[in-house]
Structure 1
C-alpha cells in the first residue's frame, strides 16, 4: 500500500488500515494524506468493513511538525491547495461505501480527530486524549469543522473547537465521538471484534444502502424531503436478492447467506 500506511485484508472482507509513522506519533503529512485518500477511494464491493488505526501507542498526534513549518512559509495559494488535499482525505473517509471503524489506540488530536469524526463507529482506550487544538496555535479547525459539528452538535463544538482544550475518552464518548471506551488494548481489540461481528451479521448491500440513507438524512433533516428516497429504498430492498434471501432465512430459522460460517 504505502510505507506510511499498512493495509491488511482478511477472507471476511475486513480491511485494516494502519497509520505507520510511530516515530512521529503517526502525524499527518502530504504522503500520509494521499495514501489515506487513495486507500479509502479504492474500497470496492469486496470490502465489507474498513478499520483504521495507528501503529504504536498513539492513534495520531495531528499534523506533522515539518509539514506545519512548510505551511508557514507557503503562499496563500499553496495553502489553499494543501487544504483541499486534506479535505479530499476527509471526504474519502466520510464517503467510503463500506462502514468505517476507527480503532483509537491512543491520543487523537486536531486533524486526526477530524478523521475520527468521519468514521461511522469509533472505539478508544480510556487513556487516550482528544482535542481540536487548532485555535491554540492561532489557527482554526476549518477543514474538520463541518464533520465535527455534524457529530457533536453545535453546542459542544462551540466549546471544544473554540477553546482547543483537551478532553478524555469518557468525555469524547459523551460528546458522541465514540461508541465505546475500554480499559486497555486487549479490550480495544475485543470491542472492535464485536463491532465487526455485528456488521458481518448484516447484509453488505443493506449496510451500504443504509449508510447512504443516513448521510442523506443528516443533510436533509426534514422527513418530508426524504420520504420518496425512503419509500424507494425499502421497496427495493424487499424485492432485492439480499432482501429475499434474508427474509427466507429468517422464516426458515437459518443463518442468512452473508453471515460467516463460523458464527
Structure 2
C-alpha cells in the first residue's frame, strides 16, 4: 500500500508511504488516497485528518515513470488510459479532501512539488518543516495540472501564482509562509510537536462549526477542470518533455517549433 491510514480516536492519520520514490503518486496511489479520506470521513469519531509524507519528501506529485512507460509503449490507447486514470483518481482524491466534513491538516515534512502542492492546497491548515521546498514543475516536462491553477491564486495572489506556475521557480519554506502557501514553519526538531499542538487546538473547536466554516469558505472555490490534464498530457509536448526528463536532457518543444 502506498497510502497508510491510522484511526486514532478523533484523529485520522494518513501517511504517504513511498519514500523511495519521494512519495510520488501512481494513479493507483491517488485512488488509495481517495479511499483513505472517504474511510476517515465515514468514521464518526474522527474530527481531524492529518496528512504527512515519509522520508525526505511530502510528495513530488505524479509518478513520471508510470507516465513515461505509457509513452514508450507507443500505444495511443494505453496513453489515453493512463492519462484518464491519473485525471479520474487525482480528481477523486482532491475532491474528497475539499468536501470532507473533517478538518484537514497538511504536515509538510519535506519536498513538496507538483501534485504534492495540489494536495497541500486541498488541506485546511498546514505546518511545514523549515527545510521543505516547494515547486510547480509540470511545465518543465510538458504536462498540465488542472488543480494547482484553480487554487493557487486564491491562496497566494495572482502575481505570485503566475510566477510559480509559469517559471517553475523553487521556493523555500519561509517564502511559502510569507506568500501564504503554508500557515506555519518550524524547525525539524519541533515539527511533530507543532503538528500535534495544532491538532489539539482544532479539537477544542466544535467539529460542527469547523465543518460549516469550511463549507462557507470553499463555496467560492473554482471547479476543477480535469479535461486540462487530458488535453495537456496527451499532447506532443508532454511526450517530448517526459522522455527528455527520463533521458536527463533538455526538451525540444514541438509547440515551439510550430508556433
Q: Partner residue of 1:204?
A: 207
Query: In the alignment, which of 196, 213, 216 is matched to residue 213 of structure 1?
Result: 216
**3-state SS in 2 of match to 1:56:** coil
Tell me, in whole angstroms, the C-alpha distance in 2 between the residues paired with 1:31 and 1:134.
Answer: 20
1:38-77 correspondence to structure 2 within 5 Å? 38-42=35-39, 43-44=41-42, 45-72=44-71, 73=74, 74-75=76-77, 77=80
Tell me, in whole angstroms, the C-alpha distance in 2 between the residues paired with 1:218 and 1:135.
Answer: 23
The CA RMSD over aligned residues, in Å, is 1.7
Q: Partner residue of 2:89?
A: 85
Name structure 1 gaps, 5 residues minimum: 220-263
TM-superposed deviation, 1:121: 0.6
Q: Partner residue of 1:119?
A: 123
Name structure 2 gaps, 5 residues minimum: 223-259
1:70-219 correspondence to structure 2 within 5 Å? 70-72=69-71, 73=74, 74-75=76-77, 77-78=80-81, 79-184=83-188, 186-218=189-221
Tell me, in whole angstroms, the C-alpha distance in 1 between the residues paired with 2:85 and 2:63.
Answer: 17
Tell me, in whole angstroms, the C-alpha distance in 1 between the residues paired with 2:35 and 2:116.
Answer: 17
**3-state SS in 2 of match to 1:193:** helix
**3-state SS in 2 of match to 1:192:** helix
- Contact 1:108/1:130 (8 A) holds in 2: yes
Q: Partner residue of 2:34?
A: 37
Q: Partner residue of 1:240?
A: none
Tell me, in whole angstroms, the C-alpha distance in 2 between the residues paired with 1:15 and 1:81.
Answer: 26
Tell me, in whole angstroms, the C-alpha distance in 2 between the residues paired with 1:125 and 1:197.
Answer: 19
Question: What is the TM-score when the length of structure 1 is the normalising length?
Answer: 0.76
Q: Which has the larger radius of gyration?
A: 1
- Report which structure shows greater RCO (CA 8 Å, sep ≥6): 2
